[in-house]
Amino acid sequence: MKGFFIFLVCLASLHSSGQDMSSVRTIDSIVSAIENDPAVLKTVHDTARYMKEDGGTRWDSLYSHREYLYRNGKIVRIVAWNRYGSWRNDMIAYYHNDETIKFSKGESFESAPFYGELNFEIYYYGDKELKFTWLTPKPDNVIRVDSDIFLIWAQSLLKDKK
């Protein structure tokens, strides 16, 4: 009986894992359709501000860039990057029916060894992380990435534009 129970647990985990991969493929097909649709409308917003660093005395320019892609009047993709001094972060969020479905991110300092190479993507379904993937080698000093923070960021970008 114990062996049969272990078999069922293993079978259930394989089955649920298969469902996740199916959803990831579905999300990738939606993302591909967005990227290849010649009818999407794009708007771009750029901002520059002169700001003081957090907790410091140094002032520098902060640049923000946002690209919004619309399909049938709904936002389907937001590209955003921010730069302050030598620091820059980039993100791309994809949306389906006003829900975040995929978030890609990169972040680093110009002098850091992984500058421009610290990249990951998170798939979401029903406002929950479905899959997390490092696109570049995971740095040794990173234990885990809190996917909820990036979901909140993606939803905030969408809400700010509406």
98: left (phi over 0), alpha (psi -120 to 50) or beta: left
The pLDDT tens digits for 122-146 are 999 988 999 998 888 887 888 888 8
The strand ranges marked E within 15-58 are: 41-52
pLDDT of residue 145: 84
Separation CA 86–CA 74 (nearest Å): 34
pTM of the model: 0.74
Q: What is the pLDDT of residues 82-127, one digit of tens each?
A: 888 777 788 899 999 999 999 988 765 566 655 666 788 999 998 8
- Output the six-digit token pair for 159: 């809400």
Count of C-beta atoms within a 10 Å radius of residue 151: 19
